[in-house]
Chains A and B, each alone.
Chain A
Amino acid sequence: MSGKPVLIRDGLRIDGRKPEELRPVRIALGVLKNANGSALVEYGNTKALAAVYGPREALPKHISLPDRAVLRVRYHMAPFSTTERKSPAPSRREIELSKVIREALESVVFTSQFPRASIDVFIEILQADGGTRTTGLTAASLALADAGIPMRDLVIGVAVGKVDGVLVLDINELEDEYGEADLPVGIMPNTGEIVLLQLNGVLTSGEFKQALDMAYKGVEQIYKTAKEAMYRKYYKMFEEVR
């Protein structure tokens, strides 16, 4: 009825990847002058820019908490990020995703070190090609690290999907739209703790376990790229100071 494309041909995906293959991951840190920390993360054609302001005074005052910092997180898609223009007003989807991304970050930030303060994380999806919440989550955790906020670990996001009956890592927009399942996952790479998990679609419990295994493998690879990006940025700074 609707023109569903063939998503798996000869064992390869619509963009030529193997099922367990990530898109090229590119990461740059400290890309913004005003923000205390920032990161630009690309998974293939999905591009997410995150900025962190704070810890700073929590305003309006009544939102502040006596024993910890509040996190304020906004996930937002730029109007030009999608095929058809997206209204800049926050959608129900963006409100929900801001919440799940905030909750994922709460588990890594040492908020109790900054009582009454606010740590603000702004995520802008510049281009959406599937996996925007997970790309945005990775960018947010790297921007927090770039801002020097004390954290237990980074958070790396990746989405696993099921398309034409095959489990695939790091799904793109077509695979998300015409696939059978989308499983976005956020993982702390050093402890293996799961801090974001949603499933939009249908999986058997066996498929679910296999999909999670793939997510852990993907996270490991993205974490390696993230560490390289941090090394590039901060080693250079270290050299300059010396």
Chain B
Amino acid sequence: MSITPEKEPLLPRIQVENIVKSIKKGERIDGRGLTDYRPIEVILNPITKASGSSLVKLGGTQVIAGVKLELEEPFPDRPGEGVLQVHAEFVPLASPSFEPGPPDENAIEVARVIDRSLRESKAVKLDALAIEPGKIVWSVYTDIYLVDHQGNIIDTSMLASMLALATSRIPELIKGENGYKVDHTKYVGPLPINTLVATVTMGIYNDVIIVDPLLEEEAVIDSFITIAIDESGRICGIQKRGMKGFSRSVLDNTIEIALSKGRELVDLMKKILNNPSEYMKPLVSE
């Protein structure tokens, strides 16, 4: 059952007024323009035991995504394809309002939005992941770990997931007498990727659209939309969130913004993936 939540964080009225006033002026409380992203920092493969991983910082929001490849039986209706699974955990260290326990509706929503965007765009080349069609295939698990929440979880998680997938490698298979075994210490090649995908999340306040909302802005704004864009500029996922609606003309504007911002994010990911060694840094840098 879904229950109206309490608004969190609870902001002092003066701060709410500040946020509203700056949005009306076409500014943001952190000095950004309405459609600017916060600075993005990336570390590739910080978790070496994973098949692929990344840490993405979008301003103060931090997400670690880890990819693991395991052997599994394919779905009966897709015998020749690998399996893609996305899960998200909002661990309690990420925010004072998170409690330990199974994923709540917000975490499930984030995982499912990212899952759909990856699946529908065919971002991962699942038809190249069958080992013995109908019997055994690779299952690609993407686990999203939100470790610090300062707003816009979805875009941070999407960047982290996409970069982790794009740097993932397929582990070595050993064929024994009783079937296959995986050697997670050796790799045979990269995980095949068809396209990169980015999501662009926007908040809508009185018909004004802001990109990449901060935690404090999220507490003031009542409607959000996330639009997923692939490399060729197609829309491959949409999720409207929040307790208010918006007009058709606002929606048309969000699509235009998503197309241009989505391209920027895809280009950023391409730049990073073209020069991965530069981004393979230790988690703790001196």
A→B interface (CB under 8 Å): 1-2, 63, 65, 68-74, 92-93, 95-96, 98-104, 106-107, 111, 181, 183, 188, 192-205, 208-209, 212, 216
CB <8 Å contact, A212 and B248:
yes
CB <8 Å contact, B1 and A193:
no
A100 CB contacts on chain B under 8 angstroms: 109, 239-241
CB <8 Å contact, A205 and B235:
yes
Mark interface residues in B225-256 (1 if CB within 8 Å of A CB, else 0). 10000100111111111111111100110011
CB <8 Å contact, B112 and A194:
no
CB <8 Å contact, B235 and A199:
yes
Do most interface residues of chain B lie in helix, strand or loop, or is the interface mixed? mixed
B79 CB contacts on chain A under 8 angstroms: 1
Across the A-B interface, how many residue pairs have beta carbons closer than 8 Å? 119
Give A99 to B1 CA distance when docked, in angstroms: 8
Give A194 to B237 CA distance when docked, in angstroms: 17
CB <8 Å contact, A65 and B6:
yes
Mark interface residues in B249-274 (1 if CB within 8 Å of A CB, else 0). 00110011001000000000000000
CB <8 Å contact, A70 and B4:
yes
B→A interface (CB under 8 Å): 1-4, 6, 77-80, 105-106, 108-109, 111-112, 116, 120-121, 225, 230, 233-248, 251-252, 255-256, 259
Give A216 to B125 CA distance when docked, in angstroms: 36
CB <8 Å contact, B235 and A204:
yes
A107-B240 in contact given A99-B2, A102-B2 (Cβ < 8 Å): no
A188-B245 in contact given A65-B6, A111-B4 (Cβ < 8 Å): yes
Picked from B105, B237, B247, the residue with its CB within 8 Å of the CB of A199 is B237
CB <8 Å contact, B247 and A198:
no
B236 CB contacts on chain A under 8 angstroms: 199, 201-202
CB <8 Å contact, A72 and B225:
no
CB <8 Å contact, B237 and A106:
no
CB <8 Å contact, A72 and B234:
no
CB distance from A65 to the nearest CB of B (A): 7
CB <8 Å contact, A107 and B243:
yes
Known: A103-B240, A194-B248. 7 other contacts (CB 8 A): A68-B4, A70-B4, A99-B109, A102-B2, A198-B238, A200-B120, A202-B230
Question: Closest B-chain residue to A216, C-beta based?
Answer: B248
CB distance from A216 to the nearest CB of B (A): 8
CB <8 Å contact, A96 and B235:
no
CB <8 Å contact, B245 and A95:
no
B255 CB contacts on chain A under 8 angstroms: 205, 208-209
B244 CB contacts on chain A under 8 angstroms: 106-107, 195
Give A70 to B108 CA distance when docked, in angstroms: 21
Picked from A69, A73, A99, A208, the residue with its CB within 8 Å of the CB of B235 is A208
